Amino acid sequence: VVVRTIATVGNYDYITDIKLREDGEIEVKTRFAGFIEARHFDEKGNPDERNFSTIIRPDLAGPVHSHLVNWKADFDIAGT
């Protein structure tokens, strides 16, 4: 059985699949989808932007950033 959730937050879709297998194994995968949030890039005004962004074209930068996913599994088995 696969349970899928899709949460849209701002510019991104967070897609989580939870696979419940017959042998009791649980597998969780989270993927991210969305459009790049770009900003204006001016080499003369902020040359350090190259250190923290992908330069898409001479006047447009896509800042590097991270997405973190945290899980807590709290299994209450037989009331223990």
Residue 46 in contact with residue 55, Cβ under 8 Å?
Answer: no
Handedness of CA 6, 9, 12, 18 (dihedral sign): negative
For the full predicted model, state whether its pTM sits above 0.85: no
Give per-residue pLDDT as tens, 21-73: 999 999 999 999 988 889 999 999 999 999 999 999 999 999 998 888 888 88
From residue 49, alpha-carbon distances to 35, 37, 46, 58 in Å are 20, 15, 6, 12
Stretch 13-22: mean pLDDT, rounded? Answer: 95
Q: Give me the residues paired with residue 33 across strands.
A: 13
Going by the DSSP 8-state scheme, the letter that residue 51 receives in this structure is H
